[in-house]
Amino acid sequence: MKHMRFPFILLTLSITVIITGCKKLEYPNEETKKVIGQWRYVSSTNTVTGASLTSLNNSNWIEFKSDGFYRLFENDTQLEKSKFRFEERKSIAGGERMMIIYHTGSSRVHSFDLVGDTLHLLDEYYDGFSFKYVKK
C-alpha cells in the first residue's frame, strides 16, 4: 500500500503547483486594465541628471499581457520577459501610487501614469529613469 501513496502524493503536489502557477492577473482599479497592450518607446530621462537612456530607441516596444507577462522588444526580437503584477505602494515621489512589480529576480518596480494614449513609467529608486511610451 505504501507504494500506491507516493504516486498519489506526487500527483496531488503537481496539480497544486500547476493551479497556483496559473494565478490570474488582478486589476486593483480600472486604470490598471488600460496598461494591458503594446507600447512603443518614445523617450527616457534620468530623474536627477536629465540624461537619456541610450540603450533604448524608437525600435523598442513593450507589452503587458492579461496573463501577467511583460515583454520588451527591439523590432521583433524579444529582449526580456517576466511575470508582473499590480500593487499599491508608497512611492519615492510621495504618497501611495499604483505600481508594476516585475518578477525578474531583481527588485524592479515602476509607478505609472496614463494620460490618453501615453504611458509614463517611473523607476521607484533614486537616480532612476522616467520612461514615456505611446499605445501601438
pLDDT along the chain (136 residues), means of 10: 50 43 83 98 93 90 97 96 96 94 87 97 94 97
Q: Where are the domains of the chain?
A: 25-135
pLDDT at 31: 96
pLDDT at 54: 85
CATH of 25-135, one of 2.60.40, 1.10.10, 3.30.70, 2.40.128: 2.40.128
pLDDT at 11: 43
Backbone region of residue 50 per phi and psi (left: phi > 0; alpha: psi in -120 to 50; beta: other values)? left
Do 112 and 102 touch, CB atoms closer than 8 A?
A: no
Do 130 and 123 touch, CB atoms closer than 8 A?
A: yes
pLDDT at 23: 66
pLDDT at 123: 96
- Which is it for strands 60-64 and 129-135: parallel, antiparallel or unpaired? unpaired
